Structure 1
Amino acid sequence: MRITLVGSRHFGVTVLNMLRQHDQDVVRVVVHEGGDRLVAAAKAAGIEVVVQADRKTVTAAEIAPGTDLIVTAHSHARVTREALAASRLGGVGYHPSLLPRHRGLAAVEWTIREGDPIAGGTIYQLADRMDAGAIVVQDWCFVKKGETARELWERALAPLGVRLLAEAVEIARRTGSLPSRPQDETFATLAPAISD
C-alpha cells in the first residue's frame, strides 16, 4: 500500500512507525508546520515531507502521486474532496470517541466532562464534514474513575488508535477496499474545544 500520512506530534510519529513496522510504503508525510516532530521522523526514514500551504486544508497537490490510501494521525486539517479523489481508496482518520458521539476537537475532554463510563475510538472514512464519514472499524474501553483526559488518551485511546489504524490499513491492503457503515446521525453529539 502506498500511503500519504497527514499528521503531527507524537501520535503522528507513532503511526508512522507502526506503518513502517507493518511494511506499508509511506511515500509522503504532510504536516501543517515545518517544525513538527513528525518532520524529523519522516526525514530520518528518508520519506518526503510536504508542509501544507494552508494549515486548515490538505489539497490534491499535497498528496503523493500513486497514493492508495491517505491516513491522518493527529491532523485537524480538512482533506479536500479533490485530495481524497487523488487517492485510490480515499482516506481514513482516527477519532478518539465512539462516533458519532463527541464529534470535534475535544472528544476526550468531553468524554470526561460528560462522565462517560465507556470511551472508544473510531476509524472513519474522511468526508466533507469533519468526523462524519462512514465507520470502518471501532472499539471501546472503560474510563477509570477520576481519570483525566490526558490519562485516558495516554493509557487507552492513543494505543487503541494505533491498533485500529493498523487493522484498517491491513484490511485495505488485503481486500483492496474499506468496509464502512454510515454513522447514525440521531446519536451525534458535538465536542467543541473547551476554553476553561
Structure 2
Amino acid sequence: MRIVFAGTPEPALPSLRAVAASAHDLVGVVTRTDAALGRKRVLTPSPVAAAAAELGVPVVKTDRLDAEATDAVAAWRPDLGVVVAYGGLVREPLLSLPRHGWINLHFSLLPRWRGAAPVQWALIAGDRVTGASVFRLVPALDAGDVYGERRYAVPRGATAGEVLAALADDGAELLAEVVDAIADGTAVARPQEGEPTLAPKLAIADGLLDFAEPAERVLDRFRGTTPEPGAHTTVDGQRLKVLAALRGPETALAPGALGLVGRDVLVGTGEGTIVLRTVQPAGKGPMAAADWWRGLRVADPRAGS
C-alpha cells in the first residue's frame, strides 16, 4: 500500500520507522510546523520532520489540515493514512481521501482516556494497567472501531515520560501488524465498549501537588505530570519544581510540612510522607533536595505555602 504518515513528537518515531521499514511504500509525511525552542527561540523541526528528512520522505509542515494540506496529501495518492500524535484533527474531505481511510495509534485502552494526554491522565488517576490501541479514525474524538490493542502493566514509580516511551515501542509493533492486516484484507475492527473517559491537554496548573491528599495520590499526580507539564509546589512563595520523588516513611509531619530525616527531605501529606529526591528552585538548575534544603532560609518551611 501507499501510506501517508501524520505525526509530530518523539513518541511517533518508532511508528514512523516501522512503516518506513515495512513492505509498504511510505509516500509522504505530515507534521506540524517548526517550533521556536530554547531560550534563544530557535526554529526547530519536529522530531518526525527530522526523521522523515533522514529517510528521504517528502514532508508537509502544517498546523492545520486544511484544503492546501489535503491537496498535498491527495498528490501522494495514498491507500492508507496513519496518525500517531500529530496534534490536530483529520476532517473531511481528507478523512475519506485514502482508499482505506485513516488509522490512529492511541496510547490508552479505548474508550478509556480519549484525548491529547492519555498516558498522563491514566497515571494521575492511579491506573496500574494501560496500553495502546489502533483504531479507525472517525469524525468523533478517538471514537472509531478498534483493530487491536496492547495492554501494559505500569511499573511502580514509572513516570508518564517513561510509560509513553514504552508504549511508543509496543504501539509501533501493533501498528505494523494492523497495517499488514489491512493490506491483506484480514483486519477486523470492533466497536469500543465501556464508558469513555477524557484526557484533555494538560496545563501547567495540572502539575500542582496537593499535599492534603494521601501520599499515593500525590505521587500519582507527580508521575502523571513528569516530565510535562512538570510537577511543582511553592515554598515561602517561591515555585519549586519536583523532578524526582518517592514514598516516604510514616512520620508525624503535617500535610505540607517539610522536614529533614537523616539525609532525606520529607513532605507530610494527608496520609504518609513523600521523599523529595531532586528539585529545581525558580531561576536555578536541578539539584539534590538535600542541597536545596541546606540553602533554605525559612524558619518553618511548608510546601504549598
Q: Is the TM value for this pair above 0.5?
A: yes
Identity %: 33
Larger Rg: 2
Find 1:142's aligned residue among 153, 175, 178.
153
Structure 1 residue 56: Cα displacement: 4.1
- In 2: Cα distance, 1:40 partner to 1:57 partner: 20
- In 1: Cα distance, 2:64 partner to 2:60 partner: 14
Following TM superposition, the consecutive aligned residue runs of length 4 or more in structure 1 with deviations greater than 3 angstroms are 56-59
- In 2: Cα distance, 1:57 partner to 1:178 partner: 27
* Conservation of the 8 A alpha-carbon contact between 2:32 and 2:87: no
* Conservation of the 8 A alpha-carbon contact between 1:69 and 1:87: yes
Find 2:196's aligned residue among 172, 188, 191.
188
Find 2:120's aligned residue among 109, 127, 130.
109
Letter in 2 for 1:23: A
1:179 match = 188
List gaps (5 residues or longer) in structure 2.
35-44, 207-305
- In 2: Cα distance, 1:50 partner to 1:178 partner: 29
- In 2: Cα distance, 1:13 partner to 1:116 partner: 25
Greater relative contact order (Cα < 8 A, sep 6+):
1
Structure 1 residue 46: Cα displacement: 2.3
* Conservation of the 8 A alpha-carbon contact between 1:127 and 1:133: yes
Q: Map residues 148-187 of structure 1 onto 2, 5 A cutoff.
A: 148-154=159-165, 156-175=166-185, 178-184=187-193, 186-187=194-195
* Conservation of the 8 A alpha-carbon contact between 1:5 and 1:72: yes
Q: Map residues 61-72 of structure 1 onto 2, 5 A cutoff.
A: 61-64=71-74, 65-72=76-83
TM-score by length of 2: 0.59
Deviates more, 1:38-47 or 1:17-26: 38-47
Q: What whole-Å deviation, never above 9, does each CA across 1:68-108 have from its counterpart, x for those lacking one?
A: 10001221211112112110000001111000001111110
Q: Secondary structure at the match of 1:63?
A: helix
Q: What whole-Å deviation, never above 9, does each CA across 1:103-156 have from its counterpart, x for those lacking one?
A: 1111101111111121111001111012111111112011122221112112x3
2:53 match = 43
Q: Map residues 42-121 of structure 1 onto 2, 5 A cutoff.
A: 42-52=52-62, 55-57=63-65, 59-64=69-74, 65-121=76-132
TM-score by length of 1: 0.90
- In 1: Cα distance, 2:182 partner to 2:143 partner: 20
Find 2:142's aligned residue among 110, 125, 131.
131
CA RMSD of aligned residues (A): 1.7
Q: Secondary structure at the match of 1:57?
A: coil
* Conservation of the 8 A alpha-carbon contact between 1:60 and 1:80: no
- In 2: Cα distance, 1:78 partner to 1:18 partner: 23
Structure 1 residue 3: Cα displacement: 0.3
The structure-2 alpha-carbon separation of the partners of 1:24 and 1:46, relative to structure 1 and needing over 3 Å to count, comes to: same
2:3 match = 3
Number of aligned pairs? Answer: 191
List gaps (5 residues or longer) in structure 1.
none
Structure 1 residue 183: Cα displacement: 1.5
Q: Structure 1 or 2: larger helix share? A: 1
